[in-house]
Each structure stands twice: as C-alpha cells, then as structure tokens.
Amino acid sequence: MSVDTATAASALPELPPGWRAVSVSGPGPFVTRAQLEGPGGERVEWTSRRHRKGLGLLAARREQRRAILAHASPASWAMAAFFGVGSLCFAVGSFPPYFQNVSVAVAAWTFFVGSVFFTTAGYLQFHEVLRAPATVTGTARAGHLRTLIGWRPRSIDWWATAVQLVGTVFFNVSTFAATRAELTLGQTRRLVWAPDVFGSICFLVASWLSYAEVNRGILPRGDGSTGWRIAALNLVGSIAFGASAVAARLLPTTGEVANITVVNLGTFVGALCFLAGAALLPVESSRDRAA
C-alpha cells in the first residue's frame, strides 16, 4: 500500500544532498520500498531488504544478472550455513528411517543441536538489520554497540528478525526439555509443547512480516527477486512448523501426542522449506546485487 511520502521519508535512511523520495510504499506503518530521484533527475528504487543486505539501489531499467556464487557476501554464506545445518537436523530428526533406528535420546539431541544452529543464524540475521547502512548510498552506522543490540521499531525487518530470534529461543527451550527423560506429563506440556507452540507462533509472525516486506500487496505478487522466493519458502515452512506444533498437543485422556504423523510430516516439510531458503541466500547476494 502507498503511504504519505512526506511523512514516510523520515523512516528512510538518510538521503544524500539533492536527493528526494518520489514515492514510498509498504505494509501498514512500515516503509519497505521507495522510488528516489537524484539531483540530475535519475531515478532508482530502494528496498529495505536490499538495503540491509548491501545489494545496492536498482536503476529504473533493470538488467538480469547471472548468479556467480563467488560474489556472494560472507554474511550470506554464514547465514546459509547455520540455517542449512539447523534445517538438516530438523529434517533428519523427523525422518522415519532415522528416528526409528536411533534411541529417543539421540533423536531429541538432534533437534536440540538444530535449534542452536537456528538461534545462531537468527542472531546473524538480526545483526544484519542492526548494521544496515545509515544512508541509502551505503554509509555504515557509527558505534560498535549499536550493531550488537538495538531498537528500530519503525523497521519491519527489525520486527521480523527480532520475533524470529525469540522463536528460536523458544525452540531451544522445547528441544532441550525433550532430551530429559524424567519429565512428568505436566512438565512435558509446560516445557516441551508450550514453548514449541510459542516458537511456532513467532516463526509464523516473523515469516509473514518478512514476506510482507518483499510482497506487493496481500496476494502473492513476486517481484522477480530471489528475496521474494526466500520469504515465500520461509512462510510455507513456518506454516508447516505451526501445523506440527498443533498436532503435537498431548491428549488429556491418554497423554499421547494427538497426531504423530502430522508432527513428523510438518517438521520435515518445514525443515526442507527453510533448507531451500537457506540455499538461496548466497544466490540472492550474488544475483540480485546492483551493478
């Protein structure tokens, strides 16, 4: 949706002298896309996702670029590695030929290790938002502490990455508690199932915010960017994780999991979606970078 240009311009990074915002748009109160005009009348497009990833401004006429992974940023490789390993752990842990042939403890620790990788990747993503340049042309932010912790409530990407990071911590709690064999039924509900549900809700909210950042409108409307595909995959993955969490509720009569098939299938599908999204991060860093 479009928002008032004069009001929204203050939410953009600092513009160079002589530049102005011609139009701005974004979901709700957030600005995720803007058309900028330079002193000579040249027009470029700014987006919040491209800005924090250091991909540059898009010219009015876009050129298709071939992905050369050697040009991908170190940050994209790091996030891809941590999200990828975490996703693999969740996929393997929910794959029947694996968990049927290992002990319950080994399967539980597989999920916990994966959750730690997810949390590490989640913080790297959050850190990427905090260290985004202060100006649209790429000037770095001042102050080291500000790149470690920060409060940027006017940025949709800050909310998306912060909420996802909280969700990964919930998964840490849930998966670690699941490694404890002596839990009672009540403790299992409080320490395993409840944090799993809260973590899944966080992932759903975060994935929707990330998707809204790159999608134009409510209905799926891709812009041809790799970032849109990543956000769409993560949203589908979060929906699958959510279905798994709902199916994992414990029945009050027997204490058994409501639907173990859906639990494993949802976890497996969600992990594969996040794995595919992770694999595309270096591709985005190389293919979508402005010349």
The parent domain of residue 189 ranges over: 72-287
Residue 148: pLDDT band by 50, 70, 90 thresholds?
Answer: low
**Chain mean pLDDT for the chain:** 89
Q: What is the pLDDT of residue 145?
A: 47
pLDDT digits (tens, 9 = 90+) for 79-138: 999 999 999 999 999 999 999 999 999 999 999 999 999 999 999 999 999 998 888 876
Cα(104)–Cα(101) distance, integer angstroms: 9
pLDDT digits (tens, 9 = 90+) for 165-198: 999 999 999 999 999 988 999 999 999 999 999 9
Q: Global pTM? A: 0.90
Q: What is the pLDDT of residue 134?
A: 83
Q: Is residue 64 part of a domain?
A: no
Q: What is the pLDDT of residue 144?
A: 47
**DSSP-H helix ranges across the chain:** 5-8, 48-52, 74-93, 96-99, 104-130, 156-177, 185-188, 194-214, 226-247, 260-287
Residues 151, 113 share a domain: yes
Residues 23, 107 share a domain: no
Residues 83, 53 share a domain: no
In the chain, how many domains are there? 2
